[in-house]
């Protein structure tokens, strides 16, 4: 996935992608920060790229907000630590969760360096205003995160966030295919990935 952060900045404070994802996947809106659940959200440069940010950084970066979500890492530490294999990596590279198996130990949350995972401290259902009846919710005591819309990919659709963006800021494609659109974009633009030095191999790229 490539996110063109210039486009996001241009149309700020647009959050269509976030609303689409959270509505579709019945992600609860819990106002109490400590119990918050999120699959995709925004944060500033210093928090998204703490190892790249410095006090003399280019000014445009200050106002810009960066969409953050699970990076579907090539070497996902969350998968390595999960004792139940509730979190696993699919053959196509998507880091997926089997909610039926999650025991809520939260090892994965400790292992993920990107804060991509949320724990259900409470029953999420009272916080889902307008549930999508075609998708399940989660229950108290499990961890959840972005699934790269596996249920949509299976139907040949794009991830909901990419589809929801009217401005085309989110492009999804096959990194393994050198001729794919996404590889072309990566060749032609300067991109950053989050905390690459940790060796997780994040698969979400940011055009700066």
Catalog residues that contact other proteins under the rule CB under 8 A.
Answer: 29-32, 34-35, 88, 90, 92, 96, 98-100, 121-122, 125-131, 133-139, 150, 154
Per-residue x/- marks for ligand SF4, 165-194, CB under 6 A? Answer: ------------------------------
- Decide which of other proteins, ligand SF4, none touches 96; Cβ closer than 5 to 8 Å per partner kind: other proteins
For CA atoms 131, 1, 98, 139, the dihedral sign is: negative
d(CA 73, CA 164): 23
- Decide which of other proteins, ligand SF4, none touches 90; Cβ closer than 5 to 8 Å per partner kind: other proteins
Judged by CB, which is closer to ligand SF4: 29, or 60? 29
Residue among 61, 82, 169, 207 that touches ligand SF4 (CB under 6 A): 82
Gyration radius of the chain's alpha carbons? 17
Lateral strand order in the sheet of 170-171: 170-171, 2-4, 205-207, 191-192
Residue 110: φ, ψ to 5° = -70, -35
d(CA 144, CA 123): 13
The number of beta carbons lying within 10 Å of the beta carbon of residue 5 is 22
Residues that bind ligand SF4 (CB under 6 A): 21, 25, 39-40, 69-73, 76-78, 81-82, 84, 86-87, 95, 97, 102-108, 112, 114, 116-117, 143, 145-149, 159-161, 200
């Amino acid at each position: 996935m490539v996110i063109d952060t210039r486009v996001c900045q241009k149309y700020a404070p647009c959050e269509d992608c976030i609303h689409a994802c959270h509505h579709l996947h019945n992600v609860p809106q819990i106002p109490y920060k400590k119990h918050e659940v999120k699959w995709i959200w925004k944060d500033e440069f210093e928090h998204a790229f703490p190892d790249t940010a410095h006090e003399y950084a280019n000014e445009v970066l200050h106002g810009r907000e960066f969409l953050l979500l699970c990076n579907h890492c090539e070497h996902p530490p969350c998968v390595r630590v999960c004792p139940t294999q509730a979190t696993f990596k699919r053959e196509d590279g998507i880091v997926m969760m089997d909610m039926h198996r999650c025991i809520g130990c939260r090892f994965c949350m400790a292992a993920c360096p990107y804060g991509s995972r949320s724990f259900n401290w409470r029953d999420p259902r009272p916080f889902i205003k307008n549930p999508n009846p075609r998708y399940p919710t989660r229950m108290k005591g499990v961890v959840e995160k972005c699934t790269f819309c596996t249920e949509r990919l299976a139907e040949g659709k794009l991830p909901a966030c990419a589809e929801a963006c009217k401005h085309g800021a989110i492009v999804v494609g096959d990194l393994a295919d050198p001729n794919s659109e996404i590889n072309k974009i990566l060749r032609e633009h300067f991109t950053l990935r989050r905390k690459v030095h940790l060796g997780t191999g994040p698969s979400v790229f940011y055009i700066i």
